[in-house]
A and B are shown apart, each in its own frame.
Chain A
């Protein structure tokens, strides 16, 4: 009986599908990936055994799956390695390397065009110009890829480095569990809709850890953006949802944890901003709800420009920031309510957890430094403290309506130790 079961199992294994596995190895009858792809028909599975294979500009126009094992390396010799131009292609468990910088065309380890239902996973990509570049595709999946570029202190030209994961005109994509490092942008989206980006780790990219433009209805969950040249920039998009992301250690003259430019109707929930020069810089953004975020030890927790309106900032924790809120306007059309401000010095007589006197998070000094940057050298001086106090009592220069009427006495959130 047991034998029969085993037999049946093997029978199913080999004959269940009509697909065939083509094995490629240096000593096999089929020794190059190109000839294997030529032999394959839709639904076939190409298995590349351990070894280094030189593959340049190989066009794949069949619905096949290409995978390798530990030690399978495709070397581009400076050119684009795989060029996918068909639906339902799968590439996984392979190392791709050596794609040179080119100023005429965008060379990538994996370049996909018009390929729906892509499945790209468990790739290791090293020394490339662009990592994974996907254009005009839908319903694709990119996961567990480890992409590391060559951008460093010596090689710092933005134009000499490409993006790790680059999506253009895509829809309904899933990007998850990837590690992207030392490229120009970690993850770059342009005209991408309805996609889900979760649990990625973007570190040490020279420009932005995550950069998207004109990309609506996307969701970003539990990603970690660390030490990127200018943090994360999101521009000209609406319906963006960012939940429980971690923005840390983005330091530098123009570094932001999160730069919001022309963003509307979006939600920021439960994110942690730690040790950034400017945690959130909001420019011309509207109808954003920011709640339950934590701002800790940033230079400026939030810089909110005068052209932002109808944003709701509620139930956030502002802890140990040099400046909590800074703005360049004397009016305010945003709603700050029920946040915890560590700087708050009011009292709570009725013990309901809400401070009895309102809190004004904008200090006169932030206004002064915006006008006269050199004045930053007077920070924490007694004279400045006196000025701030006077301004707090009777606001003249700072926006009178930028006020939290329900400042919390205790931190609101328990995401202080969020880490992944």
Chain B
């Protein structure tokens, strides 16, 4: 475990030194500050921020994780030749990357929010925005790291990660919509809940949306959704799914990493 911690520290500091982590953080600081300060309408700026968080965070997390991995294969090979358990080494690298990304999102959004506190109408929406950003960073770093470990070819790995992002961010919602329209005659509210929980990006979106658009959700379907996601059980199940979205790819990664011939 001590090895994991050391590797984590090394990767973390290595990441911090790179210009990308700082740029990423500055991007969030500037966009959150700029949107809240200049848009004038709080709800509108939160909606724009939410779109940034649920689109950009997964994309950037995925790309930066795969890039980092493939650019550091030599370092990884050297590391694996040392008397360190493979799973410990991989976990250390993952933590190093994931913590950098989440910190960048967290600090960036915090800076933007703190400087515009006087315009804030609801601090809880902003907090959920931050939680959402951090969770999505962890989830997508985890998925991307699994893909990188599983696929040795750099180009294929990055391509695959991009495809996964596109599927989750855009295509999945389209398929869901198709399902809703085709089966509109049936009571499919429960299906809708289960389907949306399978996609972490949708979960993040619903998490924030419930705080923003409660009125329009007051129809029958809306009532079912807000009742579920508003209840303690719903919260716990949502949290559990998000955590499993982080843990399951990691387990798969450890399993794959133990068996792969580097």
Contacts and interface: CB of A to CB of B under 8 A. Distances in A.
Interface of A: 251-253, 255, 275-277, 297-300, 319-320, 322-323, 342, 368-369, 371-386
A382 B180 CA distance: 17
19 contacts: A277-B218, A297-B43, A297-B215, A299-B217, A322-B212, A369-B219, A374-B188, A375-B180, A376-B216, A376-B221, A377-B221, A378-B173, A378-B176, A379-B216, A380-B51, A380-B213, A382-B173, A383-B171, A383-B174
A342 B40 CA distance: 11
Given A300-B216, A383-B170, A386-B170, A375 B43 contact: no
A372 B181 contact: yes
Given A381-B202, A383-B173, A386-B170, A374 B221 contact: yes
B225 interface: yes
Contact of B215 (A276, A319, A383): A276
B215 A275 contact: yes
Contacts of B154: none
Contacts of A381: 173, 202, 205
Which 9 A-B pairs rank lowest in CB-CB distance, beginning with the nearest? A299-B215, A299-B216, A383-B173, A372-B184, A322-B216, A373-B221, A375-B180, A372-B180, A322-B213
B44 interface: yes
Contact of B169 (A299, A372, A382): A382
B57 interface: no
A297 B180 CA distance: 27
B206 A377 contact: yes
B51 A252 contact: no
A377 B225 CA distance: 8
A375 B192 CA distance: 8
A253 B215 contact: no
B41 interface: yes
A273 B130 CA distance: 32
B251 interface: no
A342 B43 CA distance: 11
Contacts of B223: 253
Contact of A251 (B181, B192, B218, B221): B218
B218 A374 contact: no
Nearest to A384: B173
Contacts of B184: 371-374
Nearest to A250: B215
Contacts of A378: 173, 176-177, 180, 202
Contacts of B220: 253, 373
Contacts of B192: 374, 377
A385 B220 CA distance: 23
Given A372-B184, A373-B219, A374-B188, A380 B177 contact: no
Q: Which of A320, A323, A377 has the most CB of B within 10 A?
A: A377
Contacts of A297: 43, 215
Nearest to B206: A377
Contacts of A386: 170
Contacts of B7: none
Contacts of B209: 379-380
A306 B38 CA distance: 38
Given A251-B218, A276-B215, A374 B180 contact: yes
A80 B180 CA distance: 55
A372 B191 CA distance: 13
Nearest to A275: B215
Contacts of B169: 382
Contacts of B206: 377
A322 B222 CA distance: 13
Contact of B41 (A342, A374, A380): A342
